[in-house]
Amino acid sequence: MRYAVTEPVRELRVGSAERDITPLVGEYMGGFDIARTSTAIGSPLKVRALVIETGNRRFAILGIDSLGLMRGDVDFIKSGLGGFANGDVFVCSSHTHAGPDPIGIWGWYFLTSGRDSAYAGVIRAAARAAVLEARKNAAPARWRRGQSMLPEAGLVKNANRSFVFDRRVRVLHAEAIDDGRPLGTLLHFACHPEVLPRRNTLISSDFVGVLCDEWRRRGHGQAVFVNGALGAMISPHVKQRNMDGVTDFGLTACDLCEAALDHSELMPVDAIEVRRADVYLPMAAAAFRIGRLTTALQRDVFSGAARTSVGYLRMGAFEAVAIPGEMEPALAEQLRGQLGKPDLVIFGLCDDEVGYLMRDQEAIDPLYAYERSMSPCRSAGERVRRALTGR
């Protein structure tokens, strides 16, 4: 790993906050079909920040209501956070399909940009404000870690292979040492925020906003949602594909997160460890190459490859890897097995969005033709896996 930090914890302080990043109505929307523009606001978009301080060093996990931010924008956002090393900040997109086009490939016709380059500045300013407030709110803390399970059917599905998805719902909750008040919570499971359908034109955080708002309403404080191994193709299994369905899904998800908190246990934190490494992914897929040629996709390449990164975070017994896209769940399970870490958490769409990341067998399977077209190269998933495992 090119970047490695192990910070002993003597005093742990945690704080959290959020800021609004709702765009103007009428802009191009990311995901699904091209030339889709927003007509109204269904629910606001947010950046949510969880800050962890050890006395000598600061770490942050940001959850952003976005389809996915590319590395250049992520580095720009991180540069606004004074007092944080770039590698110590994890910027995770929720993957809502009801927000702006942050990539630049959903404009008014095929491979024309729908991206508003100024919007990255809006996120940067909001992230800075949220982190500053989180630091101001920080207090001596202890962690609680809990887990519950998604139902086998009826809430989440794999559109390609019905029951192949990670059912674990994870909660990492910080409470004040002096009086037990909530200081911030990380909520984690894997699912596309796609309750709202392809034809939707409402700006919305989809179920993520309802989940985080309800978490606070129930007295658990600020929540930061981080998605998991949602690739190929983990999505809501619901009948109501409207804002009522968004609310129902978000409330059910909150019930599951609350069950995890109810069964949580204190988690000592001896140290916080962060590691990072760069990965180069050949831009071989036709859509990616044409997108760069038309300048719709504005991404630097090095000898024909895009530079992205992987990461690792450990806080006590909590371990997570930062994945720069949408990892297929079978690849995530293979990764856990090779690392010997069955409880390893996947931070999906973290610090970059490179598209789908699959095992070799899925990358050549006709069933995954769409996912293959939205990945920079067939070996992208295996390259990310090797960067994390060394083999």
Cα angle: 181, vertex 313, 256; to 5 degrees: 50
Q: How many CA atoms lie within 13 A of 201 on its CB side?
A: 11
Cα gap 116→174, rounded to integer Å: 36
Q: What's the confidence (pLDDT) of residue 98?
A: 98
Return the number of other C-beta atoms located less than 10 Å from residue 174's C-beta: 26
- Calculate the average pLDDT of the chain: 95
Residues 45, 65: contact at Cβ < 8 Å? yes
The 3-state secondary structure of 186-208, one letter per residue:
EEEECCCCCCCCCCCCEECCCHH
Does this model's pTM top 0.85? My answer is: yes
59 φ, ψ (degrees, to nearest 5): -130, 155
Cα–Cα dist 297/291, whole Å: 5
Considering only CA atoms, which of 15, 116, 123, 117 is closest in space to residue 78?
123
**54 close to 272: Cβ distance less than 8 angstroms:** yes
H or E element: which one contains 384? helix 380-389
Cα dist from 51 to 61, 78, 144, 240, 341, whole Å: 7, 13, 16, 36, 25
Residue given tokens 């040629």 in the structure block = 293
Residue-level pLDDT at 110:
67
Residues of the chain with pLDDT under 50: none
> Which helix (H) or strand (E) covers residue 305, if one does?
strand 305-315
Give the strand pairing for 58-64 and 89-93: parallel
154: left (phi over 0), alpha (psi -120 to 50) or beta: left
Per-residue b or e along 1-21, where b marks 16 or more CB atoms closer than 10 Å to that residue's CB: bebeeebebeebbbbbbbbeb
Cβ neighbourhood burial of 277 (10 Å; 0-12, 13-18, 19+) = middle
Distance between CA atoms of residues 51 and 16, nearest Å: 6
Phi then psi dihedrals of residue 202, to 5 deg: -90, 130
Q: Give me the residue spans of the domains in the chain.
A: 271-331+340-382
Specify which residues 48 forms β-bridges with: 18, 63
